[in-house]
Amino acid sequence: MKMKFFAMAAIAITSAFTSATAQKTVVDIAVGSKDHSTLVAAVKAAGLVETLQSAGPFTVFAPVNAAFGKLPAGTVETLLKPENKSTLTKVLTYHVVAGNLDAAAVVKAITDGGGKAAVKTVSGGTLTASIKDGKVILTDENGGVATVVATDLKAENGLVHVIDTVVLPK
């Protein structure tokens, strides 16, 4: 009886450990969210799935579906066309930062920067992070502003922060 108990305990511990360590990629986090179906479609159309499933690490500022809804009518449909793949790729990689930039690191950078922190994106552009009304906001190169609404969704190859607006490069 004792042996059976120990065997079952060992299986339970192994299962729990396997579940805890079998984390998702940043793409899997988006795929698993009903609020990111537009982002997932865009990542697929741009051919970025494989890249964002690689080792990274990546920090992704992931706009929710409603964020894409704020863009002018027809923008998403136009960007998803094959002939606009390079533009779509530039927009999407503007939402990605190389490395693990967790919420604490963002806030520290803002504090150390006297209220602002420049964040270099994979597209080569810059986002400016600051704090307004106790929330981290990102200002794009055109003056557009996104609010970070959820932070530190951890993946095995980085992390995801959810934003309420699509940020756009110049």
Q: From the centroid of its chain, how far is CA 76?
A: 18
| pLDDT tens per residue, range 79-88 | 999 999 999 9
Q: Flag whether pLDDT at 168 surpasses 60.
A: yes
Domain spans, the chain: 24-163
This prediction's pTM: 0.84
**Whole-Å CA distances, 121 to 34, 37, 168:** 25, 22, 11
Instruction: Determine the pLDDT at residue 54.
Output: 87
CATH 2.30.180.10 fits 24-163, yes or no: yes
For 54-60, what is the mean pLDDT? 92
Q: What is the mean pLDDT of residues 34-61?
A: 92
d(CA 158, CA 9): 32
Q: What is the mean pLDDT of residues 142-165?
A: 96
Are 40 and 140 contacting, i.e. CB atoms less than 8 angstroms apart?
A: no
Lowest mean pLDDT among 18-32, 37-51, 64-78, 90-104: 18-32
Please compute Rg for the chain using Cα positions: 19
